[in-house]
Structure 1
Amino acid sequence: MTEQLKEDLEKVLEELEKKCEQHPDSVMAHHHLGLVYMKAGRIEDAIASLKQAIKIDPLNGDSMINLGAVYFGQGKLDEALELNQQAVEVQPESAQGHANLGLIWQQRNELEKAIAAYEKALQYDPKLVSAWLNLTSVLTMRGDDERAIKAARKGLEIEPDSPLGHNNLAVALYFSEQFQEALTHMKRAKELGYSVDPTFAARLQEQADQA
């Protein structure tokens, strides 16, 4: 984080903290303060602010989703799961809430639940690239290569220069034995700055050379 960005964040934090003092029952003030605390790396303060926003409005799904994301980052999957489940109960059409549930189920290796959650997210927001790419990973893990390839291509249609998208497509293509195209996408992922697994890269290159 640059010094200028730090200074800008401090100014925003000062303004939001003052606003929360002046309007202690303002859900949005506490919510936005929590988001800026997250960006500033002040995680415990972010948790406190987002909890306050939820306390003021128990139906505030956005704060639940963001607080769940904080807990997910801390490895507190139970807390993250509970918050995101509550969020999609009060905001059933929240694509990000369903996508976050997908991440949690994926982390727990409950692949069918993860797939269902990602598909639900994409039902509400077909342009949510992260959901397409994470769905690709889960489908590949499950051995559903054809659907994984389709999901990866969908993600790349929306974000053509996604390093993760090209890597995930390369992996899915590899397992479907489409080695030449897989190699093309692996190289593109590298060009875009993705740290491709060296063992996978070596195996793919070998298979492509033999094809």
Structure 2
Amino acid sequence: MTDDRPSSAHFAQAVRCHRAGRLEEAARLYRAALSADPGDAEVHYALGVLELQAGRSRLAIKELERAASLAPGYIEAWEALGTAHAQSGAFAAAATAFESIVALHPDHLPALVNLGIAQRRLGRVRDALESHRQAVAVDASSSLARFNLGCTLADAGDADAAMEALRVTLSIEPGHVAAMTRLAGLLVDQARHDEALGWYREVLRVRPDAPRAHYNLGVALQAAGRNAEAANAFEIAIRRDPRDMDAWNNLCISLLRDGRPAAALAACEGYLRITPAHLCKPLAYKAVALLELGRRDEALAILDVDRLLLRRSLPVPAGFDSMHAFNGALARHVLAAGDLEFEPRDKATRGGRQTGELFASTDAAIAALVSAIELAIQDFVAALRASLPTHPYTQRLPQRWRLTGWAVVLDRLGHQQPHFHPDGSVSGVYYVRLPPSMHGARNDAGCLEFGRVAGAIGGRAEPLLNTMRPEEGLLLLFPSYFYHRTIPFEDSQPRISIAFDVMPTG
């Protein structure tokens, strides 16, 4: 572009202001330049970069899209546009921008890497692998390309290949903190604790101030069963960042595992102080610590099933002739779900299948169930605020929330291991279909049990147990911090339920 273009004088001034960090003055001058020449792609690009630096992604995207449309070969504009979209969480649009660069220059290393990162964030792992492999082919000595290939291989479940790529990254750039951290995490997953600890300690040697370094070390020590050392690492992490909720969470767990309930109780109180008012997870650990200390009445106040649980038999929803027809429609929808997965990873379901998100469906039966659940939640929250206004759980009930749900299909001997829902506020279950052996049964097979703590937490005290017998058409609501499990049953017919969480949104 020549110096005699209409925008030139304002543009030169704007660039000087931009370089000096006077962003608002520069923005005004860029806009003046565009008033003189609205078709100047370079000015649109520069203004877009400025808006991106100022944290105004929407305005940045508008200017950068204009620059790229005016000059389709303008690589820098496409790069900045992709970055702006990625920063705003629009990874599909980011991928499109980086694809535009790769279409023009197939060997453009930064675009290939950024394209792979966007594809990975979209869950397009195979596409991301191809992009990162192309990046490595362009420059085998690029630690950036190797590192991202390793991370994507890990996402794809190929841990051995991922670790090899990360080791190559470290041979290229020995002090690559992110590569050491990711490699150590993969080693923890394989129970290769000594190797993992070695890499985490190397991170601390290279970068003593590396974010999360002490926390990561604590996680590895905890996984190795070295709970006293893990607690020390989490305490250091907390001293560095007193609001690190993950460190507080794991400190509580390590202290309980290490048989130090008094210290765990103190940690729970600290955790509660820094936790957002609408999250109640620390109460799960506090109840365990109180039980371990023999303070059963105080634990019972936190785990009071009689006062903190709602049990409701749903009426027949509009549009259905009977509860049998309604539950039949729900069962058919659940069993036909394409994402019904056997024993999904990181879930409590054993000997059964579980869906992903269920409540996004437009199915009439699901919509009717969601409406009934929402009404029950409103009643539950209102009743607690009226009857137990000072209870620590009531005080943490959120004002704003969203509902998420999934279905669980348990087969013979199927069950759910003891767990609680750490990110929820109110949790619940609706019973769709029970196997014949559970109708009128006198034993606890297939029942829902509250109070049994997960083995991973430990605990030697006698738990406060309560058992709830399921019934078809029954809805239960309870605090998300309640530990619960299901008891295995003997039957050839499945047990179908729909579970859900109230997720606080602020």
TM-score for both structures, normalised by structure 1: 0.78
SS in 2 for 1:203: coil
Q: Superposition pairs for residues 1-211 of structure 1, below 5 Å?
A: 8-155=124-271, 157-158=274-275, 160-161=278-279, 165-176=282-293, 177=295, 178-183=298-303, 189=420, 191-192=426-427, 199-200=452-453, 203-205=463-465
Between the aligned partners of 2:280 and 2:142, the Cα distance in structure 1 is 38
One-letter identity of the residue aligned with 2:464: L
**How far is the alpha carbon of 1:38 from its aligned partner?**
1.4
Deviates further, 82-91 or 19-28: 19-28
Distance in 2, Cα, partners of 1:162 & 1:80:
32
Counterpart CA distance in 1 for 2:192 and 2:463 is 35
1:175: Cα distance to partner? 2.1
* In 2: Cα distance, 1:184 partner to 1:153 partner: 19
Residues 136 and 168, structure 1, Cα contact 8 Å, conserved in 2 = yes
Identical aligned residues as a percent: 25
1:21 and 1:196, CA in 2 relative to 1: closer, same or farther beyond 3 A? farther
Query: How much has 1:51 moved relative to structure 2?
Result: 0.8
* Contact 1:77–1:104 under 8 Å retained in 2: yes
Q: Distance in 2 between matches of 1:6 and 1:63?
A: 22
Q: Deviations over 1:57-98 (max 9, x none)?
A: 111122111101101100111111111111111111234322
CA contact (8 A) 1:93 1:124 kept: no
Contact map agreement 2:188 2:223 (CA 8 A) in 1 = no
Q: Which structure shows the bigger proportion of residues in strand conformation?
A: 2
CA displacement at 1:6 relative to structure 2: 8.7
Greater share of helix: 1
Contact 1:95 1:125 in 2 (8 A): no
Ranges in structure 1 where 5+ consecutive residues have no aligned partner: 207-211
Using the size of structure 2 for normalisation, the TM-score is 0.35
